[in-house]
Amino acid sequence: MYGDRAAGLFFVTMPQNGEAATAANGGTIMFKAKSSAEIEAWAKAAAENGGTILDAPGPGPRPGIYVSRLRDPAGNKLGAICFG
């Protein structure tokens, strides 16, 4: 992990599903949101436009994080996250 909550974060991780890393597995582009409501609206708009929700909007893996991840129609993994 590189960066900070104010400026943005960059993660390089192993795929969380245990499958081989590929362009769309092990790589997720995350966008910083201002609020949980913004993440919920983002996920809803994505689903209405052909995206597949991977993680519905909700609490993240650590306290104070709210997150959602999805796969766009081209197969890329995208996420939105807010802190606090």
Q: What are the tens digits of pLDDT across the range 3-22?
A: 677 766 767 677 778 888 77
What is the domain-level CATH number for residue 54? 3.10.180.10
CA 30 – CA 67 distance, rounded (Å) = 9
Position 28 scores a pLDDT of: 83
User: Residue 66 corresponds to which tokens in the numbers above?
Assistant: 């709210």
Position 78 scores a pLDDT of: 92
Residue with tokens 């994505």: 46
Position 76 scores a pLDDT of: 85
CA 50 – CA 70 distance, rounded (Å) = 10
pLDDT of 61 higher than 90: no
Give yes or no for a contact between 77 and 29, defined as CB atoms under 8 angstroms apart: yes
Domain span at residue 49?
2-83
